[in-house]
Structure 1
Amino acid sequence: MTRASTPAPLLEVQRLTVAYTRAGRSYDAVRQVSLTVQQGESYGLVGESGSGKTTLALSVMRYLPRSAAVRGGRVLLNGADLLTLDAKAMRRIWGRRIAFVPQDPHTSLNPSMRIGQQLGEGLSTDGLDQRQARQRALSLLADVHLPDPPRIAECYPHQISGGMRQRVLIAMAISREPQLLVMDEPTTGLDTTTQASILDLIRDLVRRRSMSILYVSHNLGVVAQMCDRVAVMYAGELLEDAPAARLYARPLHPYTQGLLDSVPRLGQNKRRVRLRGVAGRPPSPAETRSGCVFLARCPLAIDLCNDAPTLFETAEGHTARCHRWKEIEAGSADPRQPASRKAGPPRTPTIGREVLALQDVQVHFPLRRSLADVFSRRIRRVRAVEDVSLSIERGFALGLVGESGSGKTTLGLTILGLVERTSGEIHLLGKPLPSVIAGRSPGTLARMQMIFQDVDESFVPTMSIAEILRRPLIRLSGSPPDEASSKAISLLEAVHLPPEFADRFPSELSGGERQRVAIARAFASKPEVLVADEPISSLDVSVQAAVLNLLNDIQVVRDSGLIFISHDLAVIGYISDVIAVIYLGRLMQVAPAAEIFEPPYHPYTEALLSAIPLIDPRGKQERIRLQGDAPSPVDVPRGCPFHTRCPRFLGNLCKEVDPPEQRTASGGMIRCHISLDELKAVQPRVFAFSSPVEGSG
């Protein structure tokens, strides 16, 4: 994208301060923030949770909750101050000149109304009759690239996928052709393939309709690919603001550099690069503080930083709130966090170190979908996992990647005995495992542990951290209570948490701290195998880096096998030694981590790689977009299960014949009818950079 040049900006936020009042105390969530969005420009707001970016977006929309109040500043849209307008005047502006796309379509759409009705409800206020409103609704659904608009219009929200629901929200937002779209994390929670399609749609709408966007996100890759300018917020203040290409290439604030160093680049691996991230945790909004808001976490802090810095103009269009920006620009001061240690050397598999082996594992669930099925006694089955064979060695990490519904979590639960397998064998240390957890001995349970995606749901909220850690030590390891208490303290220290955390409860810890406790609990019984199911998906990028480093450190020290489940191939590529790509319960590709990013790829792997938003705006990617949703695991297609969406579809061969497993030179596997030589010949490298991307280590 290129920044539009117009005589006057579309949106100006001038010295905005917003405060929340809770329990009788008031604190600033946004403090003296100024920014400008030009006509046709996409402007990104990034920062950790609690940075104030969503509060700023809600202030622009005049959507603040009752507990919040604007204490100063102005929000100008085409020169008119929105903060001075009454509700009646704002109703004329909402939708027509400024519109909002929220993060969660589940809570934003009315579950009791059809999609067409919900679109028509807003259009009827423009004087359209019922027939005109319906035609306009169908046109909008087509504009956001939804297939078969008449059918979608008759659906209820729960009857369409998450990506489709997000497209409906975008259709609602653009229905009255606003000048400015305010988007709050519009792709969070979506698969990377769905996210890529939504981002393509947003870019297309901006181009065709000459709209501006204020885009709020914690995903630095999405912002890099979507936005012309980027502002970085922290503790309610704007710390840096610059054109996207400049900010990502030469950040001048240590916090910006820390965020960029927290994200694994495609092709980086823990054996070569260690993530630096951002040390410490953000201040509480209620904390009183003076000086630089980033002082406590900054690697470049000096006495001068006790005085609050202004927003320095470092170059045309680039501002940074740092006393030492000139030293950073000159290269005499390094804004990166110090590396806690260097990345370990590459490791190679060793014969006899196999800890877990899966052979032809299948998981089918019975499903009765209708009254006719009941009367006919027909039992339909969800084929969640199909003929999966894998092995994991001590000290090695296997990454399991795929879209939602691919079967990756089901496979992890099956390994642990939380889901019963239909057929196949699982061996731990060469011994067969009973299918369900009830048939496994305490010793076996101790050797296999899991880190769950939702940490909050895996903790008993009334148990202290010490009790949470003591429980597996006593029940699985047989430690006496007194010994378990001292070991619990040692576990906290192993995950870099202070001993006083033992007396706290889960609600008193941050998300990253709770995830550290979950890791400590998982390693309490000294497991041979650890299954981590999306353990960082809900964490800020800076916390993700710390958790990935910690997980890697402990896994290597304990020499455990790790199965890491995620939909993010960049993260999977970083943490894993071997990667398995799964689709509709079947393995499509298995390869060493370094090999997965180079052709030949399975066409599904190729699409997953193409969908990842590169954190470097200079990066170039092949645009391979999957059409439609994955088929239901109840009705898996004949032949190759991927043929209904495959960009390299060959016709009847793919439709009718199960594809062969082809072996690569490294011992990897690609399940495809196209030969490896032909795949390599027709597949370019999915991503490339205009200049080399340096590691963070």
Structure 2
Amino acid sequence: MTDATPALQFENLSVAYRVKGVSRLVLAGISLEIRKGEAYGLVGESGCGKSTAAFAALRYLPRNGAVTAGRILIDGQDIGQMAAPALRRLRRQSVAMVYQDPGKALNPSLTIGRQVQEVFELAGVPRADWAARTVEILAKVQISDPQRVMERYPHQLSGGMQQRVAIAMAIASNPTLLVLDEPTTGLDATVEAEVLDLIQHLRRELSTAILFISHNLAVIARMCDRVGVLYAGRLVEEAATAQIFNAPQHPYTAGLLSCLPQAGRSKDQAPLATIPGFLPVPGEVTRGCIFAPRCAVADDLCRSTEPARHVNDGHASKCHYPERAAALPIVARVGGPLRDTAPAGPVLHIENLSKSFGDGPERQRVLRDIGIELRKGETLGLVGESGSGKTTLARCLLGLLQPDKGSELKFAGARLAGRTSQRSRDQVKSIQIVFQNPDSALNRSHTVRRMLERTISLLVGLKGAAREARVQALTQGVRLTERHLSSMPRQLSGGLKQRVAIARAFASDPQVLICDEPTSALDVSVQAAILNLLAELQAETQVSYILISHDLGVVRYLSDRIAVMYLGQILEIGPAEAVFSGPHHPYTAALLSSAPELGAASAERVRLVGALPTTAQRPTGCVFHTRCPQSIPGLCNSKAPPQIALAAGHVIDCHLPIDALPVRR
């Protein structure tokens, strides 16, 4: 064996799942290799087989899954032929995986500290060093106060914190092959940038090979040397990253790129492009090119003859007309504005909203004097790092958490009680939420149809044919099909489950919808469809949204105004384009510079000092001064900053003079 031996190889790999006695092909004849020290990106819609490829790579397929053809080799060894002890040793010492859902990857009955320490125990690290090594690896993934986090259980952490713990466990063993299945889905921009830097450092230091699966094409473009595009279990295109993103040679790849929100283009200017139709059912027999039913340039040849694999200058594609794909415009769809009226009067009024946890000296103030007014038909984007209080604010608005005394909430001019149990039925159905993690939000024992019907019956009161019509409208609106209605959540991909959660939230005709990372689990095509759906429903019904998201491109496209939160306070609020174009609060500048942008010139990242403090460590003066690169000694650390009005509705809390505020270039 030499250094030229690939770290991972798929040789004509086919994988099938046996469902109700029928074998359904999920991967068909996949061949790829990842060299030592190379990062290989795998992209495609939910259901294309990306996660199956990841599980197959480490022989983690479920019981009903099986390799039906081909081989998988790690460092030249066929893992399909490995005995159990050798396979366990390989997983313990040489390979690691970060799963898409950290909530399932972490053991709910063990503390975080114990779970991370198990990695060092299995690696043979002396017991006396376990605690110190655990603190060190948690600090590497930007977890503040690691000692405190070690004492907690997974359910006591946010989704972003859980993902950081999962990444820490994966890199703790210094693996030579790292499989990342949506590793940054729940991470904010600054932590995502730090984690990606950490993964890049691991590549350089240990020549770690990386299989990187992500819906975030900008992250793939930043991190990967080569990219493979998977569609319905087939590898339809493969090339160097620059070739894929600058000159795609398959219409499917061009379609994915066209779905992305673009800077300067909002929901009021044009809808996003989408890929029409749906993926074929796994195992479905098709003639010709499998993408032909959804392809804008397909002809009779495409529909009758399967294309061969063409390679040109290292750029491989399975398309009869690669030159047609290269000519497709990679831009958003042109269309008229979705609405021609500005948001109306206030529907939700928040004043002096605070929320504390604990009693006595242990009391911690998570939200501090939040004041926001949400207008009818408006989208307010909430951005900030995990731990800044965004989800706590959402839960207070929903009545799931009781705000502190003195907090004032009003809905449609009427007082809004702090708890759901004290609110009227109309108030409850009028304020709904789409949670970040659909697995936790959906009832595992109900079919999709039952979940939708139950919500419609309980909150809207529709029965019979009227209820069925509503179910069908919701199903079509979120791009589900009739066959999905009879499915249980466990039978759906992460993206499909999130679509179900969105459909259920709209079932009660809400006036305010809180969207907590509503598209984090969705591929770019479905994300575009969901964002278009949200925009269209808002134009039709004047529903108001509070959008919580780490994806700043999504926030910019959908939001009318943006509020930037840090440690339970709002540091900046203003019209979306004003917040993005600047001048910014230094914290906003750091968030924007950390977010990867596809096709944008790489700007120098504003690096913050340390991690987000805990509420128990709330700094005096400006809460951001301990991490601010422009902090003024003697002022920022001792005195709360004044409010600076930059323009109509654009307000920043900062000591810096206006001409010293950062501007994005």
Structure-1 residue corresponding to 2:335: 342
Residues 605 and 47 (structure 1 numbering): CA distance in 2 closer, same or farther, change over 3 Å?
same
Question: In the TM superposition, what are the counterparts of 1:381-460 in structure 2 within 5 Å?
Answer: 381-422=363-404, 423-445=406-428, 447-455=430-438
Q: 1:253 to 1:225 in 2, by over 3 A?
A: same
Q: In 2 relative to 1, CA 310–9 (structure 1 residues): closer, same or farther, beyond 3 Å?
A: farther
Report SS of the residue matched to 1:621.
Answer: coil
1:373 corresponds in structure 2 to none
Assess if the C-alpha contact under 8 Å between 1:239 and 1:311 holds in 2.
Answer: no
Question: Equivalent residue for 2:198?
Answer: 201
Question: Structure 2 CA distance, aligned partners of 1:41 and 1:399?
Answer: 37
Structure 1 partner of 2:467 = 485
Shift of 1:656: 1.9
Structure 2 residue 347 is matched with structure 1 residue 356: yes
Structure 1 residues not aligned, in runs of 5+: 1-5, 369-377, 686-697
Matches within 5 A, 1:165-176: 165-174=165-174
Q: Which residue of 1 aligns with 2:254?
A: 257
Residue 238 (structure 1) aligned with residue 225 (structure 2): no
Letter in 2 for 1:232: V
Q: CA deviation at 1:500?
A: 6.2
AA in 2 matched with 1:356: V
Q: 1:357·1:389 contact (CA, 8 Å) conserved in 2?
A: no
Counterpart in 2 of 1:642? Answer: 624
How do 1:567-646 residues align onto structure 2 when only pairs under 5 Å count?
A: 567-616=550-599, 619-646=601-628
Aligned to 1:544: 527
Q: 1:367 aligns with which of 339, 351, 358?
A: 358
1:497/1:157 Cα in 2 relative to 1: closer, same or farther (>3 Å)?
closer
Give the letter aligned to residue 246 of structure 2. Answer: A
Partner of 2:296: 299
* Contact kept? 1:489, 1:502, Cα under 8 Å: no
TM-superposed CA distance for 1:659, in Å, is 1.3
Shift of 1:219: 2.3
Distance (whole Å) between structure 2 residues aligned to residue 118 and residue 386 of structure 1 = 38
Deviation per residue, 1:262-303 (Å, 9 max, x gap): 332444421234211222332222433343222332233322
> Is 2:172 the partner of 1:189?
no
> Match of 2:590, as an amino acid?
A
Contact 2:142–2:611 (8 Å) recurs in 1: no
Structure 1, 84-93 or 180-189: larger mean CA deviation: 84-93
In the alignment, residue 186 of structure 1 is paired with which amino acid?
P
Q: Which residue of 1 aligns with 2:244?
A: 247
Match of 1:690 in 2: none
Asked whether 1:279 is paired with 2:276, we answer yes
What secondary structure, in the 3-state scheme, does the structure 2 residue paired with 1:485 have?
Answer: helix
Residue 637 of structure 2 aligns with which residue? 655
Q: Secondary structure at the match of 1:648?
A: coil
How far, CA to CA, are the matches of 2:134 and 2:167 in structure 1?
13
Counterpart of 2:543 (choices 554, 557, 560) is: 560
State how far apart, in whole Å, the 1-side matches of 2:439 and 2:163 are: 26
Partners of 2:538 and 2:421 in 1: CA distance: 27
Distance of aligned partners of 1:136 and 1:581 in 2 relative to their CA distance in 1, 3 Å threshold: closer
CA distance 1:117–1:380, change in 2 (3 Å) = closer
1:33 aligns with 2:24: no
Q: Distance in 2 between matches of 1:436 and 1:450?
A: 15
Could you state the TM-score of these two structures normalised by the residue count of structure 1? 0.81
Partner SS state of residue 580, structure 2: coil
CA–CA distance in structure 2, aligned partners of residues 475 and 94 of structure 1: 48
Aligned pairs for 1:112-191 within 5 A: 114=114, 117-124=117-124, 141=137, 144=140, 161-162=161-162, 165-174=165-174, 178=176, 180-191=177-188
Alignment of 1:469-480 (within 5 A): none
Q: What is the identity, as a one-letter code, of the residue corresponding to 2:171?
A: A
Amino acid at match of 1:360: E
Is the CA contact (8 Å cut-off) linking 1:157 and 1:165 kept in structure 2?
no
Relative to the length of structure 2, the TM-score reads 0.85
Q: What is the root-mean-square deviation in Å for CA atoms of aligned residues?
A: 4.0
Q: 99-108 vs 272-281, which deviates more?
A: 99-108
Percent identical pairs in the alignment equals 39
Unaligned runs of 5+ in 2: none
The one-letter code of the counterpart of 1:365 is S
| Number of equivalences | 655
> Are residues 327 and 670 of structure 1, via their aligned partners in 2, closer, same or farther at CA, if it must alter by over 3 Å?
same
Matched, 1:21 2:18: yes
SS at match of 1:591: strand
Task: Give the match for residue 533 of structure 1.
Answer: 516
Q: Deviations over 1:492-538 (max 9, x none)?
A: 48827799689757658776666566555555565443332322223
Amino acid at match of 1:606: A
Displacement, 1:34? 1.2
In the TM superposition, what is the alpha-carbon distance from 1:93 to its structure 2 partner? Answer: 5.1
Distance 1:493 1:91, change over 3 A: closer
| Contact map agreement 2:266 2:557 (CA 8 A) in 1 | yes
Q: Matches of 1:638 and 1:427 in 2, distance apart? A: 31
Q: Which amino acid aligns with 2:172?
A: M
- Which letter does structure 1 place at the counterpart of 2:581? E
Secondary structure of residue in 2 paired with 1:655: coil
The one of 654, 658, 663 aligned to 1:672: 654
1:362 to 1:504, Cα distance in 2 relative to 1, 3 A: same
Q: 1:137 to 1:115 in 2, by over 3 A?
A: farther
> What whole-Å deviation, never above 9, does each CA across 1:584-636 have from its counterpart, x for those lacking one?
221111121111222321122122212222233x6303223434442233443
Alignment check: 8 A CA contact 1:548 1:575 kept: yes
Tell me, what secondary structure is at the counterpart of 1:241?
A: strand
Distance 1:382 1:589 in 2: 23
CA distance in 2, matches of 1:632, 1:672: 21
What amino acid does structure 2 have at the position aligned with 1:123? Answer: A
Greater mean alpha carbon deviation, residues 442-451 or residues 405-414: 442-451
1:566 Cα deviation from its structure 2 partner = 1.8
* Deviation for aligned residue 1:306: 3.0
* 2:185–2:520 Cα contact (<8 Å) kept: no
Corresponding residue of 2:65: 68
Secondary structure class of the residue paired with 1:421: coil
